[in-house]
Structure 1
Amino acid sequence: MKKTLKRIVLLAIFLVIALMLTNYMVSYQAKDNLYSSVNEIPKNKVGLLLGTAKILSNGNVNLYYTYRINATVALFKANKIDFVLVSGDNGSKSYDEPTTFKEDLMARGIPEDRIVLDYAGFRTLDSVIRAKEIFGQESLTIISQQFHNERAIYLAKHNDINAIAFNAKDVQGRYGLKVQLREYLARTKAAIDVMFNVEPKFLGEKIEIK
């Protein structure tokens, strides 16, 4: 019994160390590609806006969504991006992240013809790889919160995409902490995906952004 308990404890310690090392690796590889200032970030033709739900399960507006909208509008109005590629989940008729983002971006002054939708951005890996393979972007600006941007940059680097990222305002409090903790597991999954060259769920015909 004592030997079994000792093995469980050792395994748990090993898993925690592995999670911490993976988290550090992802952050380190992205550190030189992150920007928080609209004035300092270089210009790219396309900004890749990573999707999320607008409304939380409790009925409140998702601040991650709101802050990503604000960040995208700021970049566009500062002429730091010419087009917005909105990549999100449209897994059912009742759930359509890209269209929701498009409507709110247009309400904030971004013209419809400058917004391109990717309905198959089911997860970050899909969004990043499809930006290159489907939409032809080998250089782009990723838009999300910093923790998410770091993982997206990590995936971009391992798929030969020259990406920088603009950090939208982060979310504080209990909900923000829960999301940050889940990020540890997401980064481990991203490292495994890179190791095994996992591809997006869907690819398809190329779509030119012009």
Structure 2
Amino acid sequence: MKKTIYCIGILCILLFFCIWGANIRVASSTGAQLFDTVEQIPHNKVGLVLGTSKYLGSGQLNYYFTYRIEAAAKLYHAGKIDFVVVSGDNSRENYNEPKDMEEALIERGVPKDHIYLDYAGLRTLDSVYRMKAIFNEDAFTIISQPFHNERAVFIANHLELQTVGFNAQDVTRKYGFKTLLREKFARVKVILDNLTNKKPKYLGPQILIGIGLKQEKVE
């Protein structure tokens, strides 16, 4: 019994240090690439908005979604980005993050023909990886909350992409407690993904932003 408790204790300590180390590494290596103000962030041709659901399970509007859309529209109208890629999950019927984001951006004055939809952004890794593999962009602005930008830029750095992150307004710790808790473990996963050179679940034909017609949904 004592041996079992001892082993469990050792495992817990190792897990703690894995989580702590991963979080420190992600945050410390990306801080200089994140921006809070429109005035300071450099211009990029394209901004990538990372997907999230428009509504919570309770039916309440998701503030993560709202604040990301507001941040993207702000960058566009300030001339800091020329096009927007909205990347999210559309893996099941009646759930379409990219379409919801497109509609919200249009409501805020971003022209429809300056918005590109990535329906296969199932994970942050997928969204970032596909910017180069599908949209042929190796320098772009990532738009999400600070904690999410840190991880996304960390992924981009591993892929040797030139990115900066624009920090959308964050939510309160009480509102975002579960999300922030999941983020601790997501950072361990992202380091494991880097070590194994994890690839997206879906790829597809290339789409050149600003040239020709935008893509239709790929089934």
TM-score clears 0.5: yes
Letter in 2 for 1:50: L
Question: Which residue in the other structure is 2:27 paired with?
Answer: 27
Q: Equivalents in 2 of 1:93, 1:105: separation in Å?
A: 22
Letter in 1 for 2:188: T
Alignment coverage as a number of residue pairs: 210
What is the CA distance between 1:174 and its match in structure 2? 2.2
SS for the counterpart of 2:209 is coil
Cα RMSD (Å) of the superposition? 0.7
SS for the counterpart of 2:69 is helix
SS for the counterpart of 2:175 is helix
Question: Which residue in the other structure is 2:16 paired with?
Answer: 16
Q: Equivalents in 1 of 2:88, 2:176: separation in Å?
A: 20
Letter in 2 for 1:66: T
Q: Equivalents in 2 of 1:117, 1:157: separation in Å?
A: 23
Q: Equivalents in 2 of 1:93, 1:103: separation in Å?
A: 18
What 5-or-longer segments of structure 1 have no aligned partner? none
SS for the counterpart of 1:174 is coil
Q: Is 1:181 the counterpart of 2:174 in the alignment? A: no
Question: Which residue in the other structure is 1:129 paired with?
Answer: 129
What is the CA distance between 1:3 and its match in structure 2? 1.5
What is the CA distance between 1:204 and its match in structure 2? 1.1
What is the CA distance between 1:93 and its match in structure 2? 2.2
Letter in 2 for 1:56: L
Deviations 1:147-174 (A, max 9, x none): 0000000000001110000000111042
Q: Equivalents in 1 of 2:175, 2:36: separation in Å?
A: 22
Q: Equivalents in 1 of 2:132, 2:82: separation in Å?
A: 17
Structural mapping, 1:78-93, within 5 Å:
78-93=78-93
Q: Equivalents in 2 of 1:129, 1:36: separation in Å?
A: 24
SS for the counterpart of 1:163 is strand
Question: Which residue in the other structure is 1:41 paired with?
Answer: 41
Question: Which residue in the other structure is 1:141 paired with?
Answer: 141
What is the CA distance between 1:184 and its match in structure 2? 0.7
Q: Equivalents in 1 of 2:55, 2:199: separation in Å?
A: 29
Deviations 1:3-43 (A, max 9, x none): 21011011101101110000000111111100000000000
Letter in 2 for 1:135: F
TM-score relative to the length of structure 1: 0.99
Q: Is 1:200 the counterpart of 2:200 in the alignment? A: yes
What is the CA distance between 1:175 and its match in structure 2? 2.8
Question: Which residue in the other structure is 1:168 paired with?
Answer: 168
Identity across the alignment (%)? 50
Q: Equivalents in 2 of 1:198, 1:17: separation in Å?
A: 23
Deviations 1:43-93 (A, max 9, x none): 000000000000000110000001001101110010000000000000012
Q: Is 1:75 the counterpart of 2:56 in the alignment? A: no
Letter in 1 for 2:7: R
Runs of 4+ aligned structure 1 residues displaced above 2 Å come to: none
Q: Equivalents in 2 of 1:175, 1:126: separation in Å?
A: 26
Q: Equivalents in 2 of 1:173, 1:147: separation in Å?
A: 12
Q: Equivalents in 2 of 1:46, 1:113: separation in Å?
A: 13
Q: Equivalents in 2 of 1:178, 1:52: separation in Å?
A: 14
